[in-house]
Amino acid sequence: MSSIVVISLLAYLLFLALISFLTTRNKTDNESFFMGSKKSPWYIVSVGMISASISGISVVSVPGMVRSLNFTYMQMVIGFFFGYWVVAALLLPIYYKLNLTSIYGYLGNRFGLYTHKTGALFFLLGKAVGASARLYVVVLVLQEFVFKALGFPFEATIFFTLLVIYLYTFKGGIKTIVWTDFFQTIALLVAVSLILLKTIQLMDLNVFSAASTVFHSSYSNIFVWGDWSSKSHFFKQFFNGIFVVIVMTGLDQDVMQKNLSCRTLKESKKNMLWYGFSFIPVNLLFLSLGALLLLYASQNSIVLPEVNDSILPFFVPQFGTLILVCFVIGIVAAAFSSVDSALASLTTSFMVDILQSKKHNTFKNRVFVHLAFTLLFFFLVLLFRAWNSKSALDAIYTIVSYTYGPILGLFAFGLFTSYSIREKWVPLVALASPFLAFLIKFLIETHFTYRFGYEILMLNGALCFLGLWILSYPRVRLR
């Protein structure tokens, strides 16, 4: 069985290589690498962003979380949808008006060099760690279903995966990624749909009776209203969803870089709203799959793995060779589409925001920076393996809450005030806010029954905003 998986995977990798060749056969430069020469079709970007944002983590984590959280994740997904409206209405017009390559250029335009580089550095930290967590999931799957049988160690699997991603992205960048992500989204959705249909077949149901079974099961509960201290309370999840999208999309160079590669602001907004709406049915699909797997296990007295993220991979080999092949390719597609764009955005941000000088923005330097971030991913994945978090998706949102909070505070202060600031103190404020947020969380949870969810992101951003307001004293309005 493993040989069939390997052959199929190699065929898929050759397909990615073909796309890379076709998109880079004409001369490529930094403009095409960073922005796709601003010629990306909005509908291709929109579809491709689904798998880039969902990644391999959601494929295994979202179905698994049904066991402990039912469908309450949909409360956050509803918040996501409203967050995309905010990004399309508020942030995209600013980025297009300033004609930005890196969105953190707004901070430089509004405040100055210190703030510009502070925002970019927090993005580099948060994105590198978050993308490595996503990559960790796909490496686990590849190791278990492909390379373990071939005698490859875990480290070799990481190296092989990153080598493939590096080779098809180092030249074309966003110009290539927009198209590879489009096809990888298709591969992901086909894989999940086939697994869902196989589960329905094993339970002797059809699509309509399966939907009814899920709806009437104990897992279908979406809304939590009663216990305000619960992490799953509706208002917590809803507002968390809005702010997670604002920072992970609107204030994230990775996602916005693809949006800014669209031809016009109108097309970029259209892409953002369609992409945001698609999150609702896609996540319902994942959650429904999780509920059906749990019901199937209950009916057949199957003992499930203790870790929620292991539930879906546990069933896949039992569903036959075709499902296993599709699952591996789907997971690889999702992870590749997430990690490839992360590498491109990290390279872009480092070149544009940190190096800045045009004499440093050469093809040779870009290739070197791209390779350096690839190697950084290698070591970070090893750290995630040592950490062995029970839920990679939870780890991602926790990381975002601490690393993107200062970015949220910086942008909010720039957008909603007209004050100048004592800029040399900005890096200190940005560093202090996540530490203060953690301290407040610790003290409240130690002495009270309240439990923080991802709203730590909002607290973190608010503390950074407050620090900037203090720095603006004596407050001088900009003319």
C-alpha to C-alpha distance for 53 and 166, rounded to whole angstroms: 19
Q: Are 233 and 364 members of one domain?
A: yes
- Please report the pLDDT score of residue 56 as a whole number: 58
C-alpha to C-alpha distance for 162 and 164, rounded to whole angstroms: 5
Write down the H helix ranges in 28-153.
30-35, 42-69, 73-86, 92-97, 105-110, 113-142
- 399 in a structural domain: no
55: left (phi over 0), alpha (psi -120 to 50) or beta: left
> Hey, which residues does 40 pair with through a beta bridge?
262
Helices (H) and strands (E) in the chain, counts: 20, 0
- 397 in a structural domain: no
- 51 in a structural domain: yes
Question: In this structure, are residues 405 and 461 in contact, taking their beta carbons and an 8 Å threshold?
Answer: yes
Q: Are 361 and 445 members of one domain?
A: no
CA 332 to chain centre: 15
C-alpha to C-alpha distance for 307 and 294, rounded to whole angstroms: 13
Count of domains for the chain: 2
Contacts with 311 (C-beta within 8 Å, 6 or more apart), sequence order: 60, 63, 64, 67, 290, 293, 294, 304, 305
C-alpha to C-alpha distance for 25 and 324, rounded to whole angstroms: 34
Contacts with 258 (C-beta within 8 Å, 6 or more apart), sequence order: 36, 40, 45, 48, 49, 52, 174, 177, 178, 181, 341
C-alpha to C-alpha distance for 142 and 74, rounded to whole angstroms: 29
Closest alpha carbon to 258 in 246, 279, 247, 272: 272
Phi, psi of 40 (to 5 degrees): -75, 130
Q: Are 243 and 347 members of one domain?
A: yes
Q: Are 189 and 293 members of one domain?
A: yes
C-alpha to C-alpha distance for 343 and 449, rounded to whole angstroms: 41
C-alpha to C-alpha distance for 329 and 323, rounded to whole angstroms: 10
Write down the residue that tokens 């057949």 correspond to. 300
Where a domain ends, among 363, 390, 417?
A: 390
Q: Are 414 and 381 members of one domain?
A: no
Q: Are 75 and 146 members of one domain?
A: yes
- Please report the pLDDT score of residue 39 as a whole number: 66
DSSP SS3 for 344: helix
Where a domain ends, among 390, 421, 452?
A: 390
- 36 in a structural domain: yes
User: Tokens for 50?
Assistant: 């689904």
User: Tokens for 373?
Assistant: 């971030």
Q: Are 376 and 444 members of one domain?
A: no
Q: Are 229 and 343 members of one domain?
A: yes
Q: Are 386 and 409 members of one domain?
A: no
- 396 in a structural domain: no
Q: Which amino acid is residue 188, in one-letter code?
A: L
| 439: containing domain | 404-479
- 64 in a structural domain: yes
DSSP SS3 for 98: coil
Where a domain ends, among 390, 414, 430?
A: 390
> Hey, which residues does 262 pair with through a beta bridge?
40
C-alpha to C-alpha distance for 44 and 21, rounded to whole angstroms: 18
Q: What is the pLDDT along the chain (479 residues), one digit of tens a residue?
A: 467 777 887 887 788 777 777 766 665 555 555 555 566 776 677 776 666 566 656 677 788 888 888 898 899 889 998 999 999 999 999 999 988 888 999 999 999 999 999 999 999 988 888 788 778 877 877 787 777 777 888 888 888 888 888 877 766 566 677 777 777 778 778 888 888 999 999 999 998 999 999 999 989 888 888 777 777 788 888 988 898 888 888 898 887 887 887 888 888 888 888 878 888 888 888 899 999 999 999 999 888 888 777 788 888 888 888 888 887 777 777 667 777 778 888 888 898 898 876 555 677 788 888 889 999 989 888 887 776 555 555 666 677 788 889 999 999 999 999 888 888 999 999 999 999 999 998 999 888 877 777 778 889 999 999 999 998 865 544 44
- 395 in a structural domain: no
Q: Are 373 and 245 members of one domain?
A: yes
C-alpha to C-alpha distance for 28 and 173, rounded to whole angstroms: 9
CATH of the domain at 205: 1.20.1730.10
Question: In this structure, are residues 183 and 32 in contact, taking their beta carbons and an 8 Å threshold?
Answer: no
Q: Are 244 and 301 members of one domain?
A: yes
- 236 in a structural domain: yes
DSSP SS3 for 223: coil
Q: Are 198 and 312 members of one domain?
A: yes
- Please report the pLDDT score of residue 406 as a whole number: 94
Closest alpha carbon to 354 in 121, 103, 34: 121
